[in-house]
Amino acid sequence: MANEVLTGAQAIVRSLELLGVTDIFGLPGGAILPTYDPLMDSTKIRHILVRHEQGAGHAAEGYASASGKLGVCIATSGPGATNLVTAIADAHMDSVPLLAITGQVNSTAIGTDAFQEADIVGITMPITKHSFLVTKAEDIPGVLAAAVLIATTGRPGPVLVDIAKDAQNGKAEFVWPPKIDLPGYKPVTKPHGKQIQAAAQLIKEAKRPVLYVGGGIVRAGAHLELLELAKIIGAPVVTTLMARGAFPDSDPQNLGMPGMHGTVPAVTALQRSDLLITLGARFDDRVTGQVKTFAVGAKVIHVDIDPAEIGKIRFADVPIVGDAKEVIAELNAELNADLKGTKPDIAEWWKFLSDLRTRYPLGYTQPDDGKMSPQFVISRIGELSGPEAIFAAGVGQHQMWSAQFIKYERPNSWLNSGGAGTMGYAVPAAMGAKVAQPERLVWAIDGDGCFQMTNQELATCTINNIPIKVAIINNSSLGMVRQWQTLFYNSRYSNTDLNTGTDTIMVPDFVKLADAYGCLGIRVEKEEDVDAAIKLAMETNDRPVVIDFIVGRDAMVWPMVPAGLSNDAVQFARDERPVWEEGEEE
Partner 1 sequence: MSHHVLSLLVEDRPGLLTRVAGLFARRGFNIESLAVGTTEVEGLSRITVVVSVEGLPLEQVTKQLNKLINVIKVVELEPETTVQRDHMLIKVKTDAASRSQVLEAVTLFRARVIDVASDALIIEVTGETAKCQAFIKVLEPFGIKELVQSGVLAIGRGSKSITEKVLK
Ligand X SMILES: Cc1ncc(C[n+]2csc(CCOP(=O)(O)OP(=O)(O)O)c2C)c(N)n1
Applying CB under 5 A, the residues found at the interface with Mg ion are 447-449, 475, 479
Given 422, 437, 454, 455, the residue binding ligand X (CB under 6 A): 422
Contact 74, 102 (CB under 8 A): yes
- Letters for 346-385 (x = contact with ligand X by CB under 6 A, - = none) are ----------------------------------------
Question: CB of 90: closest distance to partner 1 in angstroms?
Answer: 17
Helix/strand/coil (H/E/C) assignment for every residue in 110-171:
CCCCCCCCCCHHHHHHHHCCEEEEECCHHHHHHHHHHHHHHHHCCCCCEEEEEEEHHHHHCE
Contact 211, 258 (CB under 8 A): no
Question: CB of 282: closest distance to partner 1 in angstroms?
Answer: 13
Question: CB of 313: closest distance to ligand X in angstroms?
Answer: 22
Q: Is residue 54 close enough to count as binding ligand X by CB under 6 A?
A: no
3-state secondary structure (DSSP) of residue 202 = helix
CB-closest chain residue to ligand X: 447
Given 397, 412, 454, 485, the residue binding ligand X (CB under 6 A): 397
Question: CB of 130: closest distance to partner 1 in angstroms?
Answer: 4
Q: Which is nearer to ligand X, 35 or 475 (CB)?
A: 475
Given 178, 214, 215, 449, the residue binding ligand X (CB under 6 A): 449
Q: Which is nearer to partner 1, 177 or 311 (CB)?
A: 311
Q: Which of Mg ion, ligand X, partner 1, none sits in contact with 460, Cβ below 5 to 8 A by type? A: none
Q: Which is nearer to ligand X, 31 or 445 (CB)?
A: 445
Q: Which residues are catalytic?
A: 53, 115-116, 165, 480
3-state secondary structure (DSSP) of residue 25 = strand
Given 109, 481, 506, 538, the residue binding ligand X (CB under 6 A): 481
Nearest to 331 by CA among 153, 207, 194, 217: 194
Question: CB of 403: closest distance to ligand X in angstroms?
Answer: 12
Q: Which is nearer to partner 1, 83 or 128 (CB)?
A: 128
Could you please report the per-residue DSSP string of 85-118? HHHHHHHHHTT--EEEEEEE--GGGTTTT-TT--
Cα–Cα distance measured from residue 203 to residue 7, given in angstroms and rounded to the nearest whole number: 58
Question: CB of 475: closest distance to ligand X in angstroms?
Answer: 5
Helix/strand/coil (H/E/C) assignment for every residue in 217-241:
HHHHCCHHHHHHHHHHHCCCEEECH
Cα–Cα distance measured from residue 16 to residue 26, given in angstroms and rounded to the nearest whole number: 14
Residues forming a β-bridge with 159: 99, 130
Question: CB of 155: closest distance to ligand X in angstroms?
Answer: 24
Cα–Cα distance measured from residue 222 to residue 293, given in angstroms and rounded to the nearest whole number: 30
Q: Which is nearer to ligand X, 332 or 477 (CB)?
A: 477
In degrees rounded to 5, what are phi and psi of residue 477?
-160, 165
Q: Which is nearer to Mg ion, 28 or 447 (CB)?
A: 447
Tell me the CA distances in angstroms from 155 to 127, 322, 545, one per residue in order: 14, 10, 35
Q: b or e along 40-75 (b: 16 or more beta carbons within 10 Å of the residue's beta carbon)?
A: eebeeeebbebbbbbbbbbbbbbbbbbbbbbbbbbb
Q: Which of ligand X, partner 1, Mg ion, none sits in contact with 178, Cβ below 5 to 8 A by type? A: none
Cα–Cα distance measured from residue 385 to residue 235, given in angstroms and rounded to the nearest whole number: 30
Considering only the stretches 245-253, 275-283, 334-342, 421-429, report the one whose residues sit in contact with ligand X under the rule CB under 6 A: 421-429
Question: Which residues of this protein are in contact with partner 1, per CB under 8 A?
Answer: 121-122, 125-126, 129-130, 133, 150, 182-185, 306-308, 311-312
Given 473, 530, 547, 560, the residue binding ligand X (CB under 6 A): 473
- Provide the binding-site residues for ligand X, judged by CB under 6 A: 394-398, 421-423, 447-450, 473, 475, 477-481
